[in-house]
Each structure stands twice: as C-alpha cells, then as structure tokens.
Chains A and B, each alone.
Chain A
Amino acid sequence: MKVLAWAKDEEIRAKGSSGGFVTAAMIAALEKGLVDEVVLVKKKNAYEGVPITTNNVEVVKECIGSMHFVPLNLSYFIKSGVKTALPTKPCDARAIIERAKRNQFNIDDVYMVGLNCGGTFNPVLAREVVLSFFEIEPETVIKEEILKGKLIIESKEGKKSVKIDEIEEEGYGRRNACKICDVNIPHMADLACGNWGVLNEKATFVEVFTDKGKEFFENAVDAGYVEFREAKKEEIEIREKIDKAMIKLAKKWREKLDEINDLDRRERLDYYIRMFEKCIGCNACKEVCPPCVCEEAKCVSMNDEMAGYKIPLYNLVRLLHLMDSCIGCGQCEDVCPVDIPLTLIHKRFSERILRKLDYIPGIDMRTPPFQETKILFD
C-alpha cells in the first residue's frame, strides 16, 4: 500500500516535517490504546534532540518535525513487555530487529514507524557548515530542512539553501556512516514515511509493509486523525528514482572514503594497527552498538591489558562478532574519542562474508549465520 497521508489537525499538518502523519498517527496509537508509550526525539535546539519515552499526547506534539543534525539511535529505549511505537530511520529499524533477535523485547510489541533517511549530520560540524556555507550565526537557526538535495537553513533573516553535494565536496556534510548507508527506505519497518514522491503538497508519502503497519495506519484513519489518498504512478516513480540515485551515491562514497582499497595485505595490516593502536579502551563503541547486548561481553572479558598486542583483543573480538551483525549505524564512530573510522572498518570486515552467506543483518528475523553455526555445534 502506497499513499499520501496527512494529519487532519491543521496545526499538526502545518508543523509536520512532511504532512504530520507520523505525529498524528502516534497520537492516535496512544489514545486508542494501540500502544502503551512512544519513543520520540524532543527538540532542544536545531542541533540537539533528546530521546524521550512518553504517553502524553501534548509531549508528542512537541516532538514534531525531522532533525537532521541529531544522529541518534532510538532502539535502546524500548522496554521489554511494553507496547511501543517509535519513528525509525533504517538504522533504528535494523537495530530494533537485531535487538529483538537477542531477546531484548518481543518484536510483536514494537511498531516501527519508518522514516526514509538520506542521512544525519554531526551537530558540531553542522554548526560549522551553517557558519561557513550559509554565513549564518549557528545559534540563530530556527529551522533546518533537507529538500531535493539541498540543505535549507531558516533564521531571522529568512531562508537560505546550499546543495549538499557542494558541502560534501569540502569534506563536511553527513556522517561518514550515512554517506555509505545504502538503505534509505526502511522496508524492514512496519511502514515507511517520507517526503520523496510528494510534489508541492503538505503530505507524507507512506508505504505500508506489514500487518502491524496496516493496523497502525488504519487505527489513525479510523480514529479520525489522519486523511489520505492513493499515491499516483508518477509520485511512486519519482520516489523510486531518488532512492536508486541515493543508493548509487552511497556506493560512490563507499569507494571514495575507503583509504585502503588499493593497498596490499601487509599495508592493510599496518593500517589496522595504526588505527587500533589509538584505541584508549573506553568501551564506548560497544556500549552504543545496538546489536551488542551481552551482559558479560567477551570483547571486554577476553581483553588483556597486560598483553600489549598491537591491536587490542577487544577490537579484534568486536570485528569478529559484528561480521554478521553490524547494521552500519555509525554510533560507534560517533562516540569514538580517537576518531577511528569504525563504521567503514566494520563494513570492510563484513561485506564479503555476508555476500557469501547471502545474509543482511537487521532486515528480517533470521538468526545471524555465526549464531546459527553456534547453535548447530551446541
């Protein structure tokens, strides 16, 4: 099912990033008892949003709009046994699926309200972009938006826009994880919401994938919170075309950001040593890694600070364990205090083996192949 949907409430429709569908449907889900709570992002300013869990409709209204400078992952905030709806970028949805596989909660309790995603910016670098590309005092930004490949910044002096390509040519722009992310439409979620395919209309393009998605959508319509119409062929085609172009762009970035493609084995090893030698052992990358849920993590327990290896066992174990589980969310790299390009390194380690195993983490409930092997041997 592919539709254009919008909030019936004029204020929500106007304030919504697209048609305010997500916000209106979240309210309907709470009011009709479809879910116990929702996890959302509460805006502090253009550069900071805080994850919150709520069942208060007024709070839901305050969380309206998309924040492109807030690279969060919301999967950690789902509680076991609590029926929850939440907006999910592809990396949130994939994180949720991997966590559900590892018994953190029952996937049937979670409504994944997918958001298409073209990427997020590091907020500190976003400030620099606003200052140098837009010549706007970063603190005066009222609103940011991404439309048709352009970053639009609204301040007291009005709106200005700059092509994202132009920003990225200069080494700024989206996080590296997002530049190489090739999943834009979260087809693993229950439904996907976005602005691609919407032409000059205040509406959200919604595609429904699962029965749960249908239930969530119909609940909002039946409750009278949401209106919709079928998507036209032209709109569907435009959406598909942009998606394809973005996947192509991600492949280009994957090549471009790879520093070691052309190196031989020995040089690659040197590169890994150079990178992981910097590791200060803070464990932050593990703490934020959505598929990592072990209470007694082997990467930590097997690590031996006395060993003096060039690459700590911690990092080696993580590379191995994530080969069939890394969803490319970039959370590890975001928090790495010594800027190790972890997302790309994990990707390098996993992509070949995943192709062989014909497996992609975070898109369905299939057991990760390495765990499958483990079950076989147990």
Chain B
Amino acid sequence: MIESVCIGCSIGCSLYVGDRIFHRKNAPHNEGKLCKFGMDLLKYYSREKAECKVDGKNVELNEAINEAKKRLEGYSGDEILFLTSCTATNEELAALKLLAEKFDAKCCFYGYGNALFSLKDIENFGRVILTFDPFVSYPLVARRVLKVKEVYEVGFVDGRVNSIILNPENPNFDDALALLDENTIALAEYSPLSTVYTPFLKEVVKSNAKAIVFNPTLNANFAAMLGFESFENKIDFDKVKAIYALEPELINGAIPSPELLIVQSAFSNGWCDKADVVIQSDSFHQKRGSVVNAEGRILINNGKSEQGVEILEKIGGFEQTASKVLETLNVNTIKEFSTVEITEEFREKEFKLKGEGKYYLTTKSNPFLWKGIDHKNFVELSVEDVKELGLSRTDRIKIGDKELCYKPSNIQKGYIVSEILISQLKGLTRVDISNLHY
C-alpha cells in the first residue's frame, strides 16, 4: 500500500492506495476520513491511460519528449504558455516553472493560493460564512463547521444552515460582509464556476478577515507559491501560439486550439485528443513527491515514479527541480504534515449573468469533484416547479439539448440545482425547462 493523497480537491486527504483504498487515520487534516470521491479514487485511476503520440501517431516516450522539445524551440517565449490544473506534485510544478523560465514564457495555473488556517482551526471560530454547501463540496469541512455555533451559507438557494440568499440579477454581499468580525472565518471556493462569489472574496481579503479558500484542484497553493499566474487572469489566448499543458484535465471550459498543443497527462481525455504531442506520464498515486494543501500543509505521495519531473527536465535540460522545491517551501527537508505559510494577492474576477431562460441554474457543489465518476444525470427542482411543470415521477425533462431526470428538492421556486449542467454551461445561467412526458 502506498501512502498517497487524494487528488479530488485542495484538501488533499491522505490515504493508502493498494488493491483497495485504505484509510490513513494518522493524517492530521483528514484523520483518514474521505468523501465519496476519495472512496472511489481507484475508479479514477483505472480509466483509460493516455498514449504517447505525435500528430496522432503512437510513438515511444522518448520520441514524444524529443518532439515536444524540438517543436517548442520553434517559438519565442511570448508565444508559449505553460499551464496546469495543479493536479500535480510540487516537484512537477517546480519543473514546469523552471521549464517556463528556460523559455522565458508565462506559466499559468488554475486556482488561488492562500493557506493560513488549518481545517481544525475552523472549530475555534464562533461564526463561519460559507460560499458552498460543505455536505456536498469539500465535505471534509463539514465536521469542522458542525462544531461552530453560527453557520451561514451565502448562495442562491436555501441551504441547510442559516442562508444568506442572493439575487442572481444583482448579487449583493452586504449582509454577509456585515457579519465579518474577529470571531468569523469565511470558507470560500475559488473556481471558474464560483466567480459569482469573487466580489465577496475580494472584500474578505481586503478586510483582512480570516478565510480559507478551497480549490477544486489539489495543488493550487504550491503553484501560487511558485508565482504561477492565475489561468483566467487576462491571458490573451489569441497571442498564444504554443501551449504546454501539464495534467490539464480539470481545467474547465473550451480546450484552446493553438498552433502547437503539447499535453502531458496520465489519462486519455479531450486535451489529448486535440494535442499535437501527447506525453503519457504515470498516474498521481504512482508518483513520488509532495503537495501543499488548502491549509498550507505539506503532504507526501509515496509512489516510486519520478517520470513526470524527468520528462520536464529532459525537455528543458535542467536538473535543479528538487532544490527549487525546497527553496520555494523555504525548508531544508520536506517534513510530512508540517505547514508552510503563504499569502497571495487576490485576483479580480468578473461576474456576468448569461442566458434569458426562466430558471436560474446554480450549483451547490464543486462539479469537478464528481467529474468522470458515476455522474448522476439529474437536476434538483423546487416542489412548486415540479407541480407547475406537471412532472410525474417517471418523467424526464429537457434543458438545452440535455435530457435529464429530476429530483424534487427543498429549494426555492425558479431555481435549478445541477452539478452537471453548470459545468457544461460554464457558470450561472438562465435556462428553460421542457417536460418530455415519459
């Protein structure tokens, strides 16, 4: 059994991976506990592997590496973009950064780094303000939140705790912000789908209130420490001619189509299908390396493979990855479960409501969490809307071109809660529903 880290979100639950998932009770952040994603991690790892390819033809690993190097060298630094979803080890991210520096190119990530408090610290606050439902997203937060006296959830539908309900046309965070004080901690998500909360986060950061920001990808904190630029932060994709993407799978949105797309990935996915060069690397649990979770805690993944780093070092012709990691963490040796401290300037986001439909589409959860894993094709509707639409138990509904099941739920009229749709429609949108009368 390998001591490993769940890649499902930035909590990075420690576990053992063997023939089965085994709980690692000694881990201070999750005490061995896992959410559904962690429990199902073996399914994630048993997916179809990526294959090394150049222009669609299968090649050996070395050939893919050499071809990637050769082709990258055809571009200047300002034409190349290195990017990652951060589902990678510290070592891989450091190597990616060194490679980008070699080319004098931009290195981007997807996420937000903060890390000042541990999950356990949440219990010591008198009040918590959440921008997500911890029973659905980042569920390892729930047991901490349950120990806090006053819990508020800011959102568009009524949550199971005190809810601060926002108007989707014009979300106003004044009520939530008024609650911030010495004794309050804000727990927020940072993902392209939660940009609606950005004005709130911005204020939280500005006011120096306590906050933990959770990312749907594992290692955003270390990318932030390395000085990666936020992926969405005004990157002009039109200017980018070549992209080197390290484990880009969890990056949401349309896959860019530059002249040259190189993808380093463990599993086969849409990015690999579009890539000119695919470099297959080992899956996360096989890797040897560290990560920094949302708390700023250093976690170890105790596999054997260092292939991910070797690939990047070969392309760049450097070997300083290990020292780059130590230097960035500001330590002499990597000690498991110890914490680092980082603060990052918060990045501005824009919020715009799209669509013209009757229903507001929203989510309670982090759709990445369930991506590729037993996705339930259903949405939640209010009981009133179910009646109004004349839906009976076996009926299917149609939203856009999607045929879906529905579940009556304790939410307000006029809303649809869906994990799957919101990821496909990219953010808060207004849509219509039709009853297919099955």
Contacts and interface: CB of A to CB of B under 8 A. Distances in A.
Given A48-B26, A123-B25, A283-B39, A337 B34 contact: yes
A70 B24 CA distance: 10
A305 B377 CA distance: 11
A231 interface: no
Interface string B28-54: 101111111011000000000000000
B405 interface: yes
Contact of A335 (B28, B33, B408): B33
B39 A282 contact: yes
A248 interface: no
B140 interface: yes
A124 interface: yes
Contacts of A207: none
Contacts of B353: none
A162 interface: no
A338 B31 contact: no
Contacts of A305: 376, 378, 407
Contacts of B139: 280, 282, 337-338
Most chain A CB within a 10 A radius of its CB, from B24, B26, B146, B378: B26
A242 to B, nearest CB: 27
A127 B407 contact: no
How many A residues are at the interface, by size bracket? 20 to 34
A337 B140 contact: yes
A127 B140 CA distance: 20
Interface in A288-305: 288, 305
A108 to B, nearest CB: 24
B146 A338 contact: yes
A364 interface: no
Contact of A127 (B20, B28, B35): B28
A71 B25 contact: yes
Consensus secondary structure, chain A interface: loop
A335 B1 contact: no
Contact of B23 (A124, A127, A308, A335): A335
A51 B27 CA distance: 16
A124 B35 CA distance: 19
Contacts of A50: 1, 16
Interface residues of B, number: 35
B142 interface: yes
Contact of A282 (B27, B36, B410): B36
Most buried by A among B21, B32, B160, B409: B32
B347 interface: no
B142 to A, nearest CB: 5
B352 interface: no
Interface string B56-99: 00000000000000000000000000000000000000000000
Contacts of A281: 36
B36 A334 contact: no
A70 B143 CA distance: 22
A296 B16 CA distance: 24
Contacts of A287: 20-21, 39
Interface string A323-340: 000000000001111110
B237 interface: no
Smallest CB-CB A-B distances: 4 pairs: A48-B26, A306-B407, A337-B33, A123-B26
Given A123-B31, A124-B31, A287-B39, 8 more contacts: A48-B26, A280-B35, A280-B142, A281-B36, A305-B376, A334-B25, A337-B30, A337-B33
Interface of B: 1, 16, 20-28, 30-36, 38-39, 135-136, 139-140, 142-143, 146, 160, 376, 378, 405, 407-410
Interface of A: 44-45, 47-48, 50-51, 70-71, 76, 122-124, 127, 277-278, 280-284, 287-288, 305-306, 308, 334-339
